[in-house]
Amino acid sequence: MRDDKRLVYVCEGGDCSEKGSIELHAELDGMLKERDTACKNRLRKYPCFGGCEHGINLVLFPDRVFYSNVKAEDLPEIVNHLVGEGPEVKRLEGKVAPDVEQITWDLLDTGF
Amino acid sequence: MAIDLEAKIPNNVDLANDPKLRRALEHWQPKYLEWWMETGPSDFKSDQIYLRTAVGVGKGGWANFGHVKMPDYRWGIFLAEPEPDRKIHFGDPLGKPAWNVVPGELRNRLRRLIVTQGDTEPASVEQQRLLGHTAPSLIDLRNLFQVNVEEGRHLWAMVYLLHKYFGADGRDEAEDLLRRRSGDPDNPRILQAFNKPIDEWLSFFCFTSFTDRDGKYQLAALAESGFDPLARSTQFMLTEEAHHMSVGENGIGRVVQRTAELMQEGTDPRKVGAIPLDVIQKYVNDWSSSSFDLFGGEDSSNAAEAFACGIKGRYREGDGIYKDPQALAQIYTTEIEEGGKLTTVEIPLRRAMNALLLDAYHSDGLRIVDRWNRVLARYGVDQKITLPNKRFNRQMGIHAGKTYDPQGNPMSRDQWESRKASWFPTDEDRAYVRSCMIKVHERGKFANWIAPPATGINEQPVDFEYVMFH
């Protein structure tokens, strides 16, 4: 059922997984289990967002935040934001083309 | 669950403590290897291939890379980690605990789903068995074999479920999965798209872009299943499947890039053994539209029942993105040709589950085509690749027997027939594409119809020795 949780998608497409997105997802999962005590976020994998040349990509929805070139060392800052203890990590945003971002929001929206 | 990598069959399903199941699977294993030797990649059996092998499902890496002879590949059984107290999150059993055994009344339906999914895995290996002989580079040869061995592992995943949960019937089905053959008129694979040979690489890249992508969406819908072992099996398969998608998506992207490079320098691709954009477009039309049919009918009581009873959900159902997890009161609207015009039809949402899944797939297809078009734009080429409308060239569902152009506009049968050759590969197109397929097995070299990839595999350089020939 639709709820007010934020969806946190880690891309597991070919390029992103080559760059370690599966491991990054696992690390983020561990950090959120520890820090997200209010369960505000739902962590998921996503097959591909198409921003492959800028992977690893991580997307927040419905916030419409598109992080690129995410590395393990960025996770503490990202988690701070996810648990409401820090701002968006602006330096990771705006790297993919606007149409790639738009396609992503179209893919994530459902009319049902 | 602990991972046992030393066992005869690597697994994280505690086979060591289930001797009956272990014996049954160990009995099936030599038959599987026999099938692989007979119908798997032709030749290359004693060559060392740089392959990824699944070794786990959780934190700290899930796969190893190394040079392996394909027959020695460690095909294992891996399920995603269980979610404690998982509840069914859609359909009539909403909120009930997920099943760890097969509910009796769902036995036949679940078995059919697993067998149909399982049948596609060996089928694709059989379809692609001769491709290695015309590989455009070592990295592509390696990617082909990676896809092949992982499709083999996906067969293992489905066979595990059949053996573990479906008794003698399941064991019989597992045997039949090795008996059917792609393209065999007397004993074909279940789905038609898996019975046509893939004898050149443009088709292989289209297959992994479009047909395998259908598999991804089917797996994703099954990953929502209330039958927990099926959900966990397919979740892990999706992790591997992501690479197959990228082989296709990047593969076509590289073909498009090579053609665009030539166009930019004023060279006719046909003069130098590369593939013109209009031919690529025809292949995209053919493979994408035949893959639309794999989703089944838009208005389907079977799909409604699979959703209602909690065994097959909507795409990303578990993300909590849908308003009504039971899909009871809503209506899905779509358009269909009636009397030469498009008319709106309404389908109760539960009956439209295949259409919903196809919608998600089609949006994903638009994304990858957009990516290829960005490559064209980068080289100053105005022409674009387009993805056909979902109504185009349908043999199944509400549009079967109707005729639409690639944009989805209705047209007469005569008009359609007269324009068919401009939409689909002709015999001449296919012969030309086949003529481009020249084997390149030297390190760092590529056939002239495809650009090198941007990066290598597992941080290795593009000119790495991905295949060591015996």
Cβ–Cβ under 8 Å, residues A65 and A88 = yes
Task: Tell whether B129 is covered by a domain.
Answer: yes
Cβ–Cβ under 8 Å, residues B263 and B287 = no
Residue A63: name the closest of A93, A34, A38, A26 by CA.
Answer: A93
Task: Tell whether B2 is covered by a domain.
Answer: no
- What's the pLDDT at B58? 58
User: By the CB < 8 Å criterion, does A31 face chain B?
Assistant: no
* CATH number reported for the structural domain that contains residue B329 in this entry: 1.10.620.20
Least Cα separation, residue A86 to chain B (angstroms): 24
Measure CB to CB from residue B320 to each of A5, A52, A106 and give the nearest one: A5
Quote the pTM value. Answer: 0.93
Q: Cβ atoms within 10 A of the Cβ of B23, count? A: 11
User: By the CB < 8 Å criterion, does A72 face chain B?
Assistant: no
Residue B359: name the closest of B304, B404, B295, B406 by CA.
Answer: B295
Cβ–Cβ under 8 Å, residues B179 and B159 = no
Q: Does the beta-carbon distance from A44 to B454 stay under 8 Å?
A: no
Measure CB to CB from residue B245 to each of A44, A47, A49 and give the nearest one: A47
Measure CB to CB from residue A13 to each of B89, B245, B314 and give the nearest one: B245
Q: Does the beta-carbon distance from A45 to B239 stay under 8 Å?
A: yes
The total number of structural domains in chain B stands at 1
Max CA-CA distance within chain A?
37
Boundaries of every domain in chain A: 6-108
User: By the CB < 8 Å criterion, does A34 face chain B?
Assistant: no
List the domain range (segments joined by +) for residue B153: 15-468
Cβ–Cβ under 8 Å, residues B248 and B208 = yes
User: By the CB < 8 Å criterion, does B250 face chain A?
Assistant: yes
Q: Does the beta-carbon distance from A1 to B374 stay under 8 Å?
A: no
How many residues does the structure list for chain B?
470
- B:86-145 residues touching chain A, CB 8 A cutoff: 89
Q: Looking at the DSSP assignment, which residues form a beta bridge with residue B69?
A: B48
Round to the nearest angstrom and report the end-to-end CA distance of chain B.
38
Strands A41-46 and A6-11: parallel
Q: Cβ atoms within 10 A of the Cβ of A87, count? A: 8
Measured between beta carbons, the chain A residues lying within 8 angstroms of B320 are 1-3, 5, 7, 42
Best interface-test mutation with A: which of B139, B208, B209, B246 has the largest number of A CBs within 10 A? Answer: B246
Is the bond into A62 cis (omega within 30 degrees of 0)?
A: yes
Measured between beta carbons, the chain A residues lying within 8 angstroms of B370 are 50, 99-100, 103
Sign of CA dihedral B252, B255, B261, B262: negative
Backbone angles phi, psi at B190, to 5 degrees: -70, -45
Cβ–Cβ under 8 Å, residues B145 and B10 = no
Please report, in tens digits, the pLDDT of each residue of chain B (470 residues total).
678 888 999 999 999 999 999 999 999 999 999 999 999 999 899 999 999 998 876 545 578 899 999 999 999 999 988 999 999 999 999 999 999 999 999 999 999 999 999 999 999 999 999 999 999 999 999 999 999 999 999 999 999 999 999 999 999 999 999 999 999 999 999 998 899 889 999 999 999 999 999 999 999 999 999 999 999 999 989 888 888 888 999 999 999 999 999 999 999 999 999 999 999 999 999 999 999 999 999 999 999 999 999 999 999 998 888 989 999 989 999 999 999 999 999 999 999 999 999 999 999 999 999 999 999 999 999 999 999 999 999 999 999 999 999 999 999 999 999 999 999 999 999 999 999 999 999 999 999 999 999 889 988 999 999 999 98
Least Cα separation, residue B104 to chain A (angstroms): 27
Measured between beta carbons, the chain A residues lying within 8 angstroms of B324 are 1, 112
Cβ–Cβ under 8 Å, residues A71 and A18 = no
Record the tokens describing residue B323, joined without a space. Answer: 């308003």
Measured between beta carbons, the chain B residues lying within 8 angstroms of A43 are none
Q: Any idea which architecture A6-108 has in CATH? A: 3-Layer(aba) Sandwich (3.40)
